[in-house]
Structures are given as structure tokens and as C-alpha cells.
Amino acid sequence: MNPLNDIISSVSLPEGKLVAGVSGGVDSMFLLALCTEMGRDITAVHVNYGKRGAESEADEKMVRDYCLKHNVPLFVKPFEVHQKGNFQQLARDFRYEFFEEVRVVTESGSILTAHHSDDNDESLLMQLFRGASTIALTGIPEARGRICRPLLAMSKEDIVTAAGLMEVPWREDRSNAENEFTRNRIRNSVIPELDKLFPDWRKQVHELKLNSNVLTESADELLGNVTDGAGLLLKRDAWLKLSSALQKLVMQRWVLKQTGQGPSRGWLDTLNRLSDIQTGAEIDVHNDWTILRNRDDFTLHHKAAGIKTKGSEIRLTREQAESGFEQKLDSEYVIIKTGSWSGKPHRYLLELSLDDVMFPLTIRTWRAGDRIQPLGMQGSKLVSDVLTDAQVDVKKKASIHVAQTFDGKICAVIFRSGKKGQPGIISHQFSCRETGKDTLIIALKNEV
């Protein structure tokens, strides 16, 4: 019996086109090799965090070489976050946003990550140590939304063995052996000691998880009785009639299902505040979400739904642009929509060839080094020089925004030229050439 065939046959992949996050480690390289071995339509995505200098560059090169050899499309992006905070969380958010962008661009159905059973054990321990309630003892789910983890039933040892049999190249990340982060300390210090002292600890933890699943099913049944059909509205009166314990249970499931993040136990202990707040008032659930009291129900709202701070970004899919989008950027309201090319430029609109724009489209403040090929020019020009030539006020210059396509091209610089002038410039590469063709329109509100 061929052990490799047994391993391959034990892994179930979702249907359709796939995107796989590939770091260069054995887990993700094995997953990528498995997808190619099974003849699947797969696109690889790699984030270069740049934290290990030459080693990070070597990781990227190995992934590039493998994808080139096996004819696998590859998207690579350097890690860029212009804010302070928990590095691991920032990095996680960054890569999952990138994964989703690539999924949309490639019209793929699912995003694959290479989490395995050892990762799941670590997550369960971390949840226990951090005081998670029984219902929150979830570990790593096999699927959530578009994200699938087909290797979750395999151990690290099995993956290394299978990768060796398949002659898959990979690189070891030496930072995994360091104890800078909590997960690394659990992996490198706590788990080896548990294995020595309590050889069956994994079995006991997984029995707790099974109990959690039963409790979760009961909570979901209750949740169906106190929410609307879509599960978006929590009916206030019905929820308040539950006992205190059941209120916590239902609230925890509702928040987790809507946001992907469960509220802390400390927050759940203060649920009595929800019975007292007035219509229109809000209470923070955690850093990203708030609960709004409507007259007869509660709703959840994402705090980052709009642009609130200088330097933040908007990312738009083609569908969002076609539906029409309006957002305040500093002192201006920018409108983005689609239309048809009339054959001649409109004085108060920026009109781009829609088919030439690779989505998602990012609207962000310009940065030093940004370049654009202004309409009618042969070569490119620094955005800073464009703004200087347009005599943009120095005080306003830093807050000017650009539109950047998914493949990194600046297609427009958005600024008010004069009191009633055109709202910026477009790139020659994205200019409209054929009457009646679909256009992407960018305008400032009082000019539409």
C-alpha cells in the first residue's frame, strides 16, 4: 500500500478555483504541492514580511521558483502596515485581506490555509489558558466563510513525512524556535512538558471541545428564537426574557457569528448595561465592533466602516464601484461610480476605462515615490511634482488621495484644481478611447 496515496486520498479540497496562502514552510508548500498533484486550478499568494532580511527574500525566491516550475500563478506582496500594535494580529489581518483581494481578482471560490492538527491543539490550549468559556472552546474551524483548512486532521509529523515522499522543497523559519510570541512558547515549552506529564492531554482537551460543540448547537437553536430570519437583528424583548446565563450564551454566539470575534468574558459580565441604554445609543463589544440599540432590537456595526483617520484606505471591488460609492476623505466627498464614455472628456469628472482597472481599487493618501503617467505625457511623473505643478496648497498637499489598481498602478490623482476645476488627473494608460465603452467615474460631490 502506498502511504502517499493514503495521505492524498484523505484530504478533501473544496470545488472550483482555489487560492492558497504559501509562506514557504513545509505545511503550506505541501498544501500547494498537493493541489498541483491533484490537478486543481490553484493560485499561490505569498506575503514577504521582511523581518528576517535575506532569509525572507530566500523564502520568496523559493516560492517563486516552485510556482514558475509548476506553472502556478503567484501573487506576492510586501508587508506594509502604517500603524503600531500587535505584530501578529496586524500581520494576520494584512495577509487575509490580501488573500481575499487575490480571490476576487482571480474569481476563485475558496482560500486555503495550511493549518494542521498541531496548530489546533495549540489554539485550544491558548483558549483554555486565557479563560475562554466552554462555548468559546472552538479551536480552529475547518471552514469559515471562504477560508478552508483541508489539512486540519493531519499532524505536523504526517505533513513532514508526506512532503518528504513528494520531494517538496521548503524552508524552516528559525523564528519559530524563538519564544518571542505566546504561541511559540506554548509550542516549544508547554506542549513538550504536557506530553511528558500527561500523554493523553490532547484527548481530554478534544472531549471538552466536543462538549463545546453540543453547547454551541443548543445556543444556536436559542439564537434562532431571538433573532430575525437573517440573524442580523437581536430582538430586544425576547432576549431580555432569557435567564442571565442564557443571555450570555446567546449574545456570545450572536457576536461571534456576525463578527468572527467572540466578546470577552469580562464584557459578557456587564450585559446588564444593554437593558438600560436608550434607543440610538451604542456600546463597544471590542476594538472593532459596537452594538446599537434600536427601538425593538440590537444591531452590530463595524467601527471601521468609514475613513476616520489620515492615511487610512478604502478598497473597492468592481461590484461596489458599479453600485455607486460615496466617502468623505478629509474635507472632500469623493463619489465613485460607473458610466459610458461619451467620446469627449467631462470637465468635472475623472473618467477611466473600466476594463483596464484591475480590482480591488484602493483609494489612499499619496506617498513619496508614487508616480503616474499624466494623460497626454510620454513618461511618468512623481505625484508630488504633479501637485506642485497644479499649485495645490501646501497645507492640503499631504491629504491628497490617489486611486491605485490591484497591480500597483496609480490610475488617478484626486484633488480639486481651482474653485470649480477638474477633480484631479488620470493616467494615460487608463484613458477612454472608444465611445460607449464602460467607464469608472471619480468625482467630487459638488461637481456631480
pLDDT in tens, the chain (448 residues): 566 677 777 788 999 999 999 999 999 999 999 999 999 999 999 999 877 888 889 999 999 999 999 999 999 999 876 666 667 778 888 898 899 999 989 999 999 999 988 888 888 787 777 666 566 666 788 888 789 999 988 888 889 999 999 999 999 877 665 656 677 788 778 888 888 888 888 888 777 777 777 777 888 888 888 988 777 789 999 999 998 888 888 888 888 777 767 777 677 777 877 877 887 777 888 766 788 888 888 888 766 443 333 345 787 888 788 888 887 776 677 889 998 888 888 888 899 999 888 888 888 888 878 899 998 888 888 898 888 888 887 777 878 899 998 778 899 999 886 555 678 999 999 999 888 889 999 988 754 4
Name the residue among 210, 201, 193, 151 with its Cα closest to residue 32: 151
CA distance 94 to 415: 28
Separation CA 187–CA 178 (nearest Å): 10
Q: In what order do the strands lie in the sheet with 297-302?
A: 234-235, 297-302, 289-293, 282-284
Structural contact between residues 34 and 44, judged by C-beta atoms closer than 8 angstroms: no
Written as nine digits, the cell of 195 is 506530553
Domain locations along the chain: 3-197, 210-305, 314-447
User: For the residues of 98-166, what is the DSSP string, one character each?
Assistant: HHHHHHHHHT-SEEE----HHHHHHHHHHHHHTT--GGG---S-SEETTEE-TTTTS-HHHHHHHHHHT
CA distance 44 to 34: 12
Q: For residue 230, what is the DSSP state?
A: T
The type of residue at 206 is: H
Burial (0-12, 13-18, 19+ Cβ within 10 Å), 133? middle
CATH 3.30.2010.10 assigned to 210-305: no
> Grid coordinates representing 296?
425593538
Where are the extended beta strands (E) located within 140-269? 143-144, 147-148, 234-235
| Residue of 92, 187, 206, 214 lying closest to 147 (CA atoms) | 92
445, 332 Cβ separation under 8 angstroms:
yes
Q: How far is residue 263's CA from residue 132's CA, in Å, rounded to a whole number?
A: 10
Residue indicated by cell numbers 508587508: 79
Rounded CA-CA distance 336/325 in Å is: 5
Going from the C-alpha of 248 to that of each of 15, 245, 281, 396, the distances in angstroms are 37, 5, 20, 48
A 10 A CB-CB count for 298 gives 20
CATH (residue range 3-197): 3.40.50.620
